[in-house]
Structure 1
Amino acid sequence: MGGGKSLAALVRHHHVGARGLNGMLIVMQPRESGVVASRLGVSAPADVIDDQTDLWDMISRAVAEDGVRHVVADEAHFFTPTQIEQLARVADDLDVVVEAFGLLTDFRTRLFPASARLVELADRLVALPTGPLCACGEFATLNARLIDGVMVTDGDQVMVGDVTGDRVRYEPVCRACHVAVHSSGVRDRGIELPG
C-alpha cells in the first residue's frame, strides 16, 4: 500500500541490531527470496514463514539457541490468528519484544483475521506517521484493489499484486474516495483510475 510498513519494520530491526541485541525478522510468504524490502530500496534478509509455521516453536528455539531478544514481524495481516496468539505467548512467556507490522483491513474494508486478533491482544497499537496519501490529497486509510485499472470490491481476501505490472495492483485511498468509487464505479473527486 505504500504506507511505510516494511520500511518501519526494517528500521526497527536495524535499531535492534545496532544496540547489540539479537533480533529476528520474519515475514509471511509469498516473499520468494526471504527478504523484506521497502519501496525505497532498503532490504534485509528475513525468515519466511507460511500458515503452517509454529511461531512459538520457531522463536523459542531461536531464543534458546541464538539468544533472540526481539522479533519483528512484517506483513502480519497475512499471519493466522493462531500465529498471532503464538507471538503474544512469545512476548509473555519468553520476555521477548515482539513488534508486528501490517494492514488492518483488506480492499473490501474488512479486518484481516490476523489483524483482528492482533488488535485484541496487542499491548499497543501505533499508526505509522508515514501514512500514504490518496490521489485526492487526503490521508489514505484504506487500500483499493485494481484489476486492469478498475477498482473491485469483491473477491478473495488475499491476491498478491504485481510488482512491476499493473494487471493486479493496490492503490492507497481515503475512505471518501473508496466509498465514491465503490458506489458509482468512478472517482468523483477529480481523480481518474489509470487504465
Structure 2
Amino acid sequence: MAELNFYSGTMDCGKSTLALQVDHNHRARGRVGRVFTSRDRAGEATLSSRLGLEVGAIEVTPELDFWHFVVDALTHGERIDYLVCDEAQFYTRQHVDQLSKIVDELSIDVFAFGILTDFRTRLFEGSARLVELADRVHTLQVEALCWCGERATHNARTENGEMVTEGEVIVVGDVEDDDPHRSAPSVGYEVLCRRHHRRRMTAAVARAVALSPDVLPFG
C-alpha cells in the first residue's frame, strides 16, 4: 500500500538532508521518482542540504497541479514510483489534497518534508493539511539546538540579530551563522527553545547582554 508520509521538525534539523537520502535510497533500489521543492535556499528548482548536497528538482508554484503532472507523465509512458516533496510547508491545501489523491488512486508513495510552524508559532497551511491527511507523521530525531543548548522547538525570524514577530509570513532566508565574529544577516532565521522564543532572546541578544555591565532581571 502506498502511503503519504510527512517528516517535520524545526529549521536546521536535517529535513532536506533526509529528503535527499530518501530519494537516493529509493533510486538505489531501482525505483523511479520525482523530486519537488519550493523556495529552496539554493534557488529555484533545487533541493539543497546545509551539508552541501543538492539535486535538481521541480519547483512547486501555486499553479502546479500534482495530480495533472503525474497523470500526464504516466499517460506519456513515464514511470513514477514515488514523490519526494521538500519545503512542504509552502504548499497549499490543494497541493496536499492532490498528493493524497495520488497516493490513494495511483498507489504512488509520497514523502513530504517541512517545518510545522512559522516565526509567529502558527501552523503553515501546507503543514497543517499534511498533519490532517498523512498516513504517518514523523518527528525528526536529529534535534536542532537553541543557543543555550536546550532542544530548539520554535523558528524565529531575526532582523539585524533581533527577533521580530510581525511581517510577511514567507520571507526566504537561512538560519544564522553562530560565529560571533560574523555579522548577522539583515533578515535571517534562528531556532530557539520555547523559553527564549517567548523572551525574544536570540543568540545575538544573549551575547549583548553578557557583555553589558547591567544585570538583566530574568523572571
Q: Same fold (TM over 0.5)?
A: yes
Instruction: State the 1:39 CA deviation.
Output: 0.5
1:41 corresponding residue in structure 2: 52
Write out per-residue CA displacement over residues 53-74 of structure 1, whole angstroms, 9 at most, x where no aligned residue: 0111112223443211110100
Q: How many residues align?
A: 189
Write out per-residue CA displacement over residues 60-104 of structure 1, whole angstroms, 9 at most, x where no aligned residue: 223443211110100000001100100000111000000100000
Structure with the greater alpha carbon radius of gyration: 2
Opposite residue 75 of structure 1, the aligned amino acid is: E
Q: Which of 13, 16, 19 in structure 1 is aligned with 2:23?
A: 13
Opposite residue 148 of structure 1, the aligned amino acid is: N
Q: Map of 1:173-184 to 2, 5 A cutoff? A: 173-181=192-200
TM-score normalized by structure 1?
0.89
CA contact (8 A) 2:39 2:87 kept: no
Q: Secondary structure at the match of 2:84?
A: strand
1:4 corresponding residue in structure 2: 14
* Cα RMSD (Å): 2.2
TM-score normalized by structure 2?
0.80
Q: Which runs of 5+ in 1 are unaligned?
A: none
CA contact (8 A) 1:77 1:114 kept: yes
Instruction: State the 1:193 CA deviation.
Output: 7.1
Opposite residue 192 of structure 1, the aligned amino acid is: R
Question: In 1, Cα distance between the equivalents of 2:149 and 2:208?
Answer: 15
Identity of paired residues, percent?
A: 41
Q: Which runs of 5+ in 2 are unaligned?
A: 1-10, 177-183, 210-219
Instruction: State the 1:52 CA deviation.
Output: 1.0
2:138 corresponding residue in structure 1: 126
Instruction: State the 1:29 CA deviation.
Output: 3.6
CA contact (8 A) 1:144 1:172 kept: yes
In structure 2, the CA distance between the partners of 1:17 and 1:90, relative to structure 1 (3 Å rule), is: same
More moved, 103-112 vs 134-143? 134-143
More moved, 161-170 vs 119-128? 161-170
Q: Which has the higher contact order (CA 8 A, sep 6+)?
A: 2
